[in-house]
Structure 1
Amino acid sequence: MDANIANRISKSPTLPVASYCMASILMTMTNKYVLSSPGYNMNFLLLTVQSLICVLTIRVLKNFKIITYRDFDFREAKFWFPISFLLVAMIYTSSKALQYLSVPVYTIFKNLTIIVIAYGEVLWFGGHVSALTLFSFGLMVLSSVVAAWADIQSSATSGYTSLNSGYSWMFLNCITNAAFVLTMRKRIKLTNFRDFDTMFYNNLLSIPILVVCTLFTENWSAENIAKNFPPDSKYNVLIAMAISGVSSVGISYTSAWCVRVTSSTTYSMVGALNKLPLAIAGLLFFNAPVTFGSVSAIFLGFISGIVYAVAKAQQQRKKESATVLPMTNNPVSASSQSIRDSMSKS
């Protein structure tokens, strides 16, 4: 009985979804704290610290036989390297967008990634976008437009240079995020990587890329180091970087867990549903402007998540009905669904 319960828990999406939510919120808040420090401009260094802490942590856990993952293999590393490159692109553009945009605006605009991923799933995995799902996408776009309008209004007196930079980085983050999630899911299927395998290769292969980027693109002069780590707050920044690194361990594992147990679109939607606690935290701890537009955008974004959840529940019921009555199922859709099912069981 205990084994059956453990098996059901391991295949249930509830635990990975909840774990991903907590890790995502912690990482976003600590990253925002570091990146919003006056004069901080070494984003690649922050990301390098996160990957190093992640690799060291799982290595220690493996030595104590708490977890296990496959040993490093050059051929597998060569096959997985494009995923790590996309991961670096995704987290760097995310850090730049978070540096320029408020936490509520950043989380709301992450919704647009879901639309790109959903149609990527249609092309790559034979997914289906229902009318109700399309409606939820429309609400996502509307919430982003309202958020942008409110953000522009609140920044009217301070100029638009940093704001434009923030939206440019946010656009790039949406593209790289979608590419990373879809490609990783396809690679997991081909390589049969487990969660810790994915976590190990993602972070290990990211380190050399990040080290090269921070050494050759960031200013390592004594003056700039002092600017990034001022004497009166350098320990707070270092502690926040360490916490961010620890949270990257959680988000690396839970991301792979969510993609395997659910679907790429659902994984991204979970991130979107984080907007409510993240937005509230941004309003409370980072003095994000509280306006009718910003509150409306947060509300619309949250409603879009609820509508999407209902749409996915309807699709699940249709899939179960098709399993009971296989003759009524479309052969192409059945084949595509079997791929998704095998992904959730792998």
Structure 2
Amino acid sequence: MSDFKLDVVPGQDFPEPGFRPEKGRTISGAEKINAAVYKIFSFNHAGRRATSNGFFRGNGADSESLGLPNGGDGKREHGSGKKYGPLISGTAYCISSCGMIMLNKIALSTYNFNAGISLMFYQNLVSCLVVAVLSLSGVVSVEKLNWKLVRVWIPVNVIFVGMLVSGMYSLKYINIAMVTILKNVTNIITAIGELYIFRKHQNQKVWTAMFLMIISAISGGITDISFDSMGYTWQIMNCILTACYSLTLRKVMDTAKQLTRSGSLNEISMVLLNNLLSLPFGIILILLFDEWEYIRTTDVIKLPMFWVVATASGLLGLAISFTSLWFLHQTGPTTYSLVGSLNKIPLSFAGLVLFKVPLSLPNLFSILFGLFAGIFFARAKMS
């Protein structure tokens, strides 16, 4: 997703699409800015997906790593729902985000399922089927795909698949709390990429926050009792691929929207495009890594509860896309970004408790320090 620095006028709502001034009245500069901001942000948010967020699709990308625009909270009122809308949508977003990671961890670690690519393939297939059903029933609107759009999107999708697969394997070998802390490295790689590719400069607070993130990641790895070199390798790959996905997506979005009939690419179309294109790549990787032989012989897939967990995780992955968009429209980028950072705190501790992770006092302090650095980073991006 593109990262725009938005300076929204406090206390003013985003104008609705199709906004027109009263006859004879001159449009103020603030109204012009708000109208432009709304159009830019409505399009750019289509690039986000589990996300996440927190994480997206099993430790994919979070709000900061995908360059979520940060500015004032352009709150939008929705009749009688304006009072409870932000609370309900925020709760739904947090539950979807946390639930997705927890279920992936259960499928990969508790059930000891050693085919992360196959799990990703199944989740993406579930998402495609759900979106197709919703589209056919008229509940959602989906852009018609064409070969030119697919050809432009394939490079992004290759990185997307790598991001999901590496996220799956890192989550299998590392506890959730450490995955959360190590994901902060993605923000650092993204910021460096933006500096060299887009000449986007960060303020001093952001660089300070990223320095704290580096310290927390290093100290967390050193003090991690359950340290797994394979898991950390996968996580480093995931951070690099997530940052690459963010930076590549920013360059491709403008080209992609010109290849659709409507001249834009909404959130639902983005979800369908990413998931649909990932299926053939998933099949190739399953055969390449010989996961098909494992699937044929393992007893795990004979357990009904495993399929419940796998299906639910796929549905929650799709739910993250819907709830994040809903929450974002109810509040604004500032609140959204901050809640995404705060959401990592209960997620980390829930992961430590539910999966009975062996923990030393220094490692606990490293995790707390990393969570603090993440919140400080979100606040710094808002300034």
TM-score by length of 1: 0.76
SS of equivalent residue, structure 2 residue 358 = coil
Match of 1:58 among 105, 117, 131: 131
The amino acid across from 2:355 in the alignment is F
1:98-109 to structure 2, matched below 5 A, reads 98-109=171-182
In structure 2, the partner of 1:110 is 183
Question: How far does residue 312 in structure 1 lie from its aligned partner after superposition?
Answer: 2.2
Aligned-pair distance for 1:191? 2.2
Please state whether the residue corresponding to 1:68 is helix, strand or coil.
Answer: coil
- Structure 2 equivalent of residue 327 of structure 1: none
Check whether the contact 1:52–1:207 (CA below 8 A) recurs between aligned residues.
Answer: yes
1:95 aligned partner: 168
Note closer, same or farther for the CA distance 1:4–1:262 as it changes in structure 2 (3 Å cut). Answer: closer
In the superposition, relative to structure 1, how do residues 112 and 257 fare at CA in structure 2: closer, same or farther (>3 Å)?
A: farther
Output the CA distance in 2 between the equivalents of 1:68 and 1:79. 21
CA drift at 1:307: 1.8
Distance apart, 1:257 and its partner CA: 8.8
Higher normalized helix content (fraction of residues) = 1
Whole-angstrom CA distance in 2 between matches of 1:255 and 1:124 = 28
Q: 1:343: which partner in 2?
A: none
Q: Which amino acid aligns with 1:202?
A: N
Structure 1 range deviating more: 77-86 or 15-24: 15-24
RMSD (Å), alpha carbons: 3.3
1:40–1:267: structure 2 CA closer, same or farther, 3 Å change rule? same
Letter in 2 for 1:218: D
Amino acid corresponding to residue 201 of structure 1 in structure 2: L
Unaligned runs of 5+ in 1: 315-346
Contact 1:136 1:305 in 2 (8 A): yes
Corresponding residue for residue 307 of structure 1: 376
Alignment of 1:199-210 (within 5 A): 199-210=271-282
Q: Distance in 1 between matches of 2:194 and 2:326?
A: 18
User: Percent identity, aligned pairs only?
Assistant: 29
Question: For residues 247-306 of structure 1, what are the alpha-carbon distances to aligned partners after superposition, in whole Å with 9 as ceiling and x for unaligned?
Answer: 12123556789999859xx99987554421221111121111233123212211221123
Distance change in 2, residues 1:255/1:43 (3 Å): farther
Pairing partner for 1:174 from 235, 239, 242: 239
CA contact (8 A) 1:39 1:227 kept: no
What is the match of residue 252 of structure 2?
Answer: 187
1:229 matched to which residue of 2? 300
The residue aligned with 1:288 is 357
Amino acid at match of 2:254: K
CA contact (8 A) 2:90 2:327 kept: yes
In structure 2, C-alpha distance between the alignment counterparts of 1:121 and 1:255, rounded to whole Å: 24
Distance 1:198 1:149 in 2: 39
Deviation at 1:183, TM superposition (A): 1.1
Higher relative contact order (CA 8 A, sep 6+): 1
Give the partner amino acid of 1:107.
Answer: T
Match of 1:86 in 2: 159
Q: Which amino acid aligns with 2:242?
A: N
Contact kept in structure 2, 1:42 and 1:228, CA below 8 Å:
no
Counterpart residue identity of residue 289, structure 2? T
Give me the TM-score of the superposition, normalised by structure 2. Answer: 0.69
* Separation of aligned partners in 2, 1:267 and 1:183: 23
Q: How many residues align?
A: 299
Matched, 1:247 2:320: no
Measured in 2, the distance between the counterparts of 1:116 and 1:6 equals: 35
* Structure 2: runs of 5+ lacking an equivalent: 1-12, 18-33, 43-72, 76-85, 258-264
Question: Using the alignment, how far apart are the partners of 1:18 and 1:306 within structure 2?
Answer: 19
1:212-239 per-position Cα deviation (integer Å, ceiling 9, x unaligned)? 2213423434x754535165xx222111
Q: Contact 1:137/1:304 (CA < 8 Å) preserved in 2? A: yes
- Structure 1 position 164 matched with structure 2 position 237: no
Deviation string, structure 1 residues 142-165 (Cα, Å, up to 9, x no partner): 1112211221xx24xxxx6xx110
Asked if the contact 2:152/2:256 (under 8 Å) is kept, the reply is no
> CA contact under 8 A between 1:198 and 1:256: conserved in structure 2?
no
Distance 1:230-1:65 versus aligned 2 partners, 3 A rule: closer
Change (3 A) 1:230 1:100: same
1:45 is aligned to: 118
Answer whether contact 2:153 2:256 (CA < 8 A) is retained: no
Aligned match of 2:149: 76
> 1: CA distance between counterparts of 2:165 and 2:195?
27
